[in-house]
Structure 1
Amino acid sequence: MNNLALWYRRFGEPAAVLQPENAPLAPLGPGDLRVRMLYAPVNASDLIPLTGAYRHRTPLPAVAGYEGVGVVTQASEAFAHLIGRRVLPLRGHGTWQQYVDCPAEYAIPVPDGIDSLLAARAYINPLAAQMMLERYSPRGKRVLLTAAGSDCAILLGQWARGAGAEAVYGIHRSPVHAGRLSSMGIIPVDQQDTAAISAIAAGADVVYDATGGGLAEAILAAMPQTGIFVCYGLLSGQTFRQQRALPRVEWFHIRNYLDALSVEMWQAQFRQIWQTLSASQYSSATLYPLTEWQVALRNYQQAGRLSKPVLAMEE
């Protein structure tokens, strides 16, 4: 049986370095599941490693993609009960392919009531949002989000409100996001309105920042010294400098916490995610066949995009 996969064997612009390759499947390793993929989304976290930004921990060659959902087709006797079940084949070897082999104990069973398109996006952004809120509690605090139209920020804002935040403000770049943020109880702030951003930052207790660059510096300059600035991304492509010792800056990278999670803790995180994610507003999905991956990448780059590009592994 052959497997179509999107490989990269060098670093560079994703559209230039990704190459579809069709090759026979290798024998299944002991302790692994074989999963026939259904859907896999396109995220910033999928594309950034292709550029070489993390080359020190990205061995080549590699298959792109970190999350998705599929159906188990093959398993050892200990995990035979999963055959035919939908799972998230996480911590395996790239999800932008028709078949994924993954460690059986880290595969996440998908509850029957969860739609497959939602399940495909239940790892990167939901787990990051959940873990940040656990570590930097928003309860009783004024919260400020950057890149508020992104999937992670949308969940951060909704879940911060559910966790007892006093108010949640969301800085957005495109005006198309304002109405959607308001419907979620997130107060929209135009990224061009520097006076409003400074005023809100001056009263912010917790900032969850995915942008970096000049916006991060402006917020840090206005924040109270008692605040916490949590940086979890650099979507601007630029880092930032802190001009004073306080407020405290924390860097959150989900990869730094995964090794500390036991199998039971890992599974428990997703049991919580299934409960909260299904009750939350999330971006819609636009499907692209795996063979149209280049179109999906171009769609991802569009400003003001409201729908998440998702690769469909079956035509």
Structure 2
Amino acid sequence: MKEQLFTRAMVREFGDIRDILRLESCPLPELPAGKVRVKMAFATINPSDIITLSGAYRSRIALPFVPGFEGVGSVSESRDPQLPVGTRVLPVGSMGAWQNVKESEPQWCFTVPDFVSDRQAATSYVNPMTALLMLKEELDFAPGMRIIINAANSAIGRTLIRMASQMGLAPIAIVRRAENTGLFAADRTERVLNSSDGGYPQALAELKASGGVAAILDCIGGEESLQLAEVLTPGGQFIHYGLLSGRPIPATFWRSRPDIRFSNFHLRMWVHSHEKARVQQRIDEVMAMISDGIIATEIAAEFPLEQIQLAAAAVLSGELKGKILLRL
């Protein structure tokens, strides 16, 4: 019997994604008891993947490893009766999406409905799930409340804007470039602010004078966090979920506003601390929003796994607007 082979992108040292990724062809091992094997269809390359490969989290990641936190596929071999062959799933809970097949624990395989395409399903976890959970699990929700969302032109920022509008919130979008202020014409936003505009400080002061905002969803950090904190109502909520500035929130943030209810949100931490049924319920909500047209991920390009170096270069260039998929 001919030996079955599969291809994977392997990382054996940390560094620049363009230098350290190596494609390997390997024999397919026997599937252990209690596990499933997923034939991957698509995977994404997210900024978090590139950060992971750089070694930023090396203290908790062992080499070697196959990168990729997000992707979709179908069960091709199963040792679990609850996940028969052919079931479409998101195999999450660990890295390893950048390969033809991924071995997974059944509890980390979440089913995907037929009405969502592979491409949208492949991009439904990291950004849409994070957005949904912050709004429905982390935010102290009240209809009509004003919230600030910075980096609103990013993939997750636009998803947050659309979800917040759908939920009856009043989102205020903050972008860094004038050309991005028009991105929200079809969305229900209270205001769109350009943080590089000379009138930005005055706009924030006007927001504060008009009652402030009840919550801020921040993925930038640094001095911007300190600046936005001044607009929060007394006892307002500050949800921090990213550090695009590369700079931590200054210590003066807490000294100037000790009343703020501050929290860090991590998708992985939430998913790993809840039962599978609860996680599946939230994934189903994301899928329904995709089906209803409330949210959708713009796909900028697709590359076969064999061209992963080209895909990585496209991500790093920043020239393509939208997600870049690996076709597996």
Aligned length: 311
Alignment of 1:178-197 (within 5 A): 178-186=181-189, 187-193=191-197, 194-195=200-201
After superposition, the Cα gap between the structure-2 partners of 1:72 and 1:239, relative to the gap in structure 1 and judged at 3 Å, is same
Match of 1:35 in 2: 38
Q: Summarize deviations over 1:220-248 as a string: whole Å, max 9, x none.
A: 24433332111101112211211422323
1:207 equivalent in structure 2: 216
* Dislocated runs of 4+, deviation >6 Å: none
The letter for the 1-side match of 2:287 is W
Match for residue 260 of structure 1 among 273, 279, 285: 273
The change in CA–CA distance for 1:309 and 1:197 in structure 2 (over 3 A counts) is farther
TM-superposed CA distance for 1:10, in Å, is 1.9
Query: Does the 8 A contact of 1:284 with 1:307 survive in 2?
Result: yes
Given the alignment, which residue of 171, 176, 193 partners 1:173?
176
Structure 1 residue corresponding to 2:245, chosen from 236, 241, 257: 236
Moved more, 258-267 or 168-177: 168-177
In structure 2, the residue matched to 1:111 is 113
Distance apart, 1:11 and its partner CA: 1.9
Aligned to 1:198: 204
Q: Rg bigger for which structure?
A: 2
Match of 1:307 in 2: 322
Name the CA distance, whole Å, in 1 between partners of 2:224 and 2:203.
Answer: 9
Q: CA deviation at 1:287?
A: 0.9
Gaps of 5+ in 2: none
Percent of matched pairs sharing the same residue: 29
Instruction: Read off the aligned partner of 1:299 and give its amino acid letter.
Output: A
Letter in 2 for 1:99: V
Q: CA deviation at 1:13?
A: 2.3
Amino acid at match of 1:24: P
Q: Of the candidates 289, 292, 311, which is equivalent to residue 276 of structure 1?
A: 289
Task: Show CA shifts across 1:235-282 (max 9, x none).
Answer: 122112114223232111122222221122122221222112332233
In structure 2, which of residues 303, 309, 318 is the aligned counterpart of residue 288 of structure 1? 303
8 Å CA contact retained: 2:155, 2:322:
no
Residue 270 of structure 1: SS of its match in structure 2?
Answer: helix
Q: Which residue of 1 aligns with 2:53?
A: 50
Tell me how far apart the structure 2 counterparts of residues 176 and 35 of structure 1 sit (CA, whole Å).
Answer: 42
The answer to whether the Cα contact below 8 Å between 2:238 and 2:261 also exists between their aligned partners in 1 is yes
* Cα shift at 1:77: 5.3
1:9 Cα deviation from its structure 2 partner: 1.7
CA RMSD of aligned residues (A): 2.1
Partner of 1:249: 262
Code of the aligned partner of 1:255: R
Partner SS for 1:275:
helix
